[in-house]
A and B are shown apart, each in its own frame.
Chain A
């Protein structure tokens, strides 16, 4: 499951952007910065890959598809 955790944008802004970009990821919001701070996120974008057991498999600031694919490799395919 791919979730995009938004920091502080209005619902309408997110919807419009998602529609325009044709993203298939699920956008979600958070209360204030509760989720960002729980994950220690200070820079955007930051990506976390969480395994089925709830443990951090990989995380990085920025977007690095190769590193993400490498981290995703041994994990069971997303349902």
Chain B
């Protein structure tokens, strides 16, 4: 259930802003690009946010309540810690799920405290799933790609007349494995920035009627962080699981996996006739050759 919900709501991160300059000054686009520049330049990112989920297509009484707390203490390339605490439902039925990552400097790991293991997700925070729900953190802190297309200015919230609001719409690339020609998903992000440029509120939705609203209590960026503050080590006694992509653990076994791919240049090979004469495979260039590998014994 959690996985399904997470996948449904997951919004990939935002691509680098397009290089082409807009024809006229656009305050919403400028605010977005400035935020992205600050995030890209920062060597550390501290964030505390609370997220609530809503869906305008589901009556409130049928909607499962989901609340998430996100705490990031990240420094480049892969130092620090990230914790997401999700509470599904309320009262006695409430279920709490904690997802945690640690970064030991050169590697970022997902942590499972119940089973006592860590699993490498990559060398940098952007290689991990930490920023999966946080497309506003941009491509240098989270991976994936959303393509911002249109920018517009939003009025400030009534309780914070000094905040700057902007709306960004764009497209999300089709999911991996999606059918060819599948319609791209639209996404919408509404952001509010405090006068000091810090992001204070963000609402994101991907394609449908569900929306994630983040209230950001703290967002601190630093160009010269004290790395001691971010130093994290793998807890004692925890197993270190290999990166599944590095190990090809998910690849299916294939009889032909070791063979050269079709289209590859055939390597030079010294062949020996039964008369003892040696010749190179390349001496047969211009001919179509069937090489049949066999043995008798």
Contact = CB atoms under 8 A, between A and B. Distances in A.
Partners in one complex: yes
Interface string B251-281: 0000110111111111111111110000001
Contact of B297 (A8, A52, A55, A62): A8
State the main secondary structure of chain A at its contact with B: mixed
B209 interface: no
Contact of B296 (A13, A30, A52, A75): A13
A44 B82 CA distance: 51
Interface residues of B, number: 35
Nearest to B260: A56
A22 B255 CA distance: 30
A58 B287 contact: no
B269 A38 contact: yes
Given A49-B290, A59-B259, A13 B297 contact: yes
B280 to A, nearest CB: 11
B263 A75 contact: no
A44 B291 contact: no
Nearest to A38: B267
Nearest to B269: A35
B272 A51 contact: no
Contacts of A30: 269-272
Nearest to A25: B292
A17 B296 contact: yes
Contacts of B273: 26, 28-29
Given A15-B274, A52-B286, A59 B256 contact: yes
Contacts of A44: 293-295
A6 B294 contact: yes
Interface of A: 1-9, 11, 13-15, 17, 25-31, 34-36, 38-62, 68, 72, 75-79
Interface of B: 255-256, 258-274, 281-282, 284-297
What are the 7 tightest A-B residue pairs by CB atom distance, in nearest-first order? A40-B258, A7-B295, A35-B269, A48-B291, A28-B271, A38-B267, A29-B272
Given A5-B291, A41-B293, 17 more contacts: A1-B284, A1-B290, A2-B290, A3-B271, A6-B296, A15-B274, A35-B271, A35-B293, A39-B291, A40-B259, A46-B292, A46-B293, A49-B290, A50-B281, A55-B264, A62-B255, A78-B287
14 contacts: A1-B288, A5-B291, A14-B296, A36-B293, A40-B259, A41-B258, A52-B285, A52-B288, A53-B285, A55-B263, A55-B265, A56-B260, A56-B263, A75-B288
